[in-house]
């Protein structure tokens, strides 16, 4: 016999405001490992879930600064030591000519940092998720509003959490297996 591993519970709510109120109650009850799904972004959901600001901005700044430093270092090395060519009587280190390359590499590295940082922070690519097997969850892209509480949460108990999700307005509460 194979043992089925429990992923968590999936609860559906009737509209965005019901979902926000349910999420606030989940957060206040001490749940940490839960996620919301809706067909469009819901204003105020981040604060309702207690989500902190993302570190992605700092990743982008660090990558942009790395690109800027790389451009300055490369151009300085090329013009001062590798190919010492005096052009029109200019100094070997003529930083004004470095500006376009510095700007372009800064933007390039920052763009790479934004894309790959977002992928890493979101855990992408995610080719499989247990919720993909749930038939009711398919409405999350058109008109469904859902919250899942993962079984890895310290406050999770199958009966107690299911009862709590129904008490806070869950229209249907279903068990999701791995």
Share of the chain above pLDDT 70, in %: 99
pLDDT digits (tens, 9 = 90+) for 121-177: 999 998 899 999 999 999 999 999 999 999 999 999 999 999 999 999 999 999 999
Residues contacting residue 93 through CB under 8 Å, at least 6 positions apart: 76, 79, 80
Q: Does 1 map to a domain?
A: no
Q: How many domains does the chain have?
A: 2
Whether residue 116 sits in one domain with residue 62 = yes
Q: Cβ(146)–Cβ(140) under 8 Å?
A: yes
Domain membership of residue 93 as a residue range: 56-122
pTM to 2 decimal places: 0.77
Q: Does 80 map to a domain?
A: yes
């Amino acid at each position: 016999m194979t043992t089925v591993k429990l992923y968590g519970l999936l609860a559906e709510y009737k509209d965005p405001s019901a979902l926000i109120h349910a999420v606030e109650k989940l957060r206040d009850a001490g749940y940490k490992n839960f996620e919301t799904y809706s067909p469009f972004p819901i204003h105020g959901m981040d604060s309702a879930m207690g989500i902190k600001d993302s570190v992605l901005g700092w990743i982008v700044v660090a990558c942009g600064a790395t690109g800027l430093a790389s451009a300055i270092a490369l151009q300085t090395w090329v013009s001062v030591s590798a190919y010492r060519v005096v052009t029109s009587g200019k100094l070997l280190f003529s930083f004004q000519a470095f500006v376009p390359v510095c700007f372009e590499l800064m933007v390039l590295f920052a763009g790479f940092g934004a894309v790959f940082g977002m992928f890493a922070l979101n855990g992408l690519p995610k080719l499989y998720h247990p919720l993909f097997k749930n038939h009711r969850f398919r409405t999350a892209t058109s008109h469904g509003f859902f919250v899942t509480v993962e079984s890895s949460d310290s406050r999770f108990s199958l009966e107690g959490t299911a009862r709590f999700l129904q008490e806070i307005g869950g229209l249907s509460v279903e068990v999701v297996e791995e």
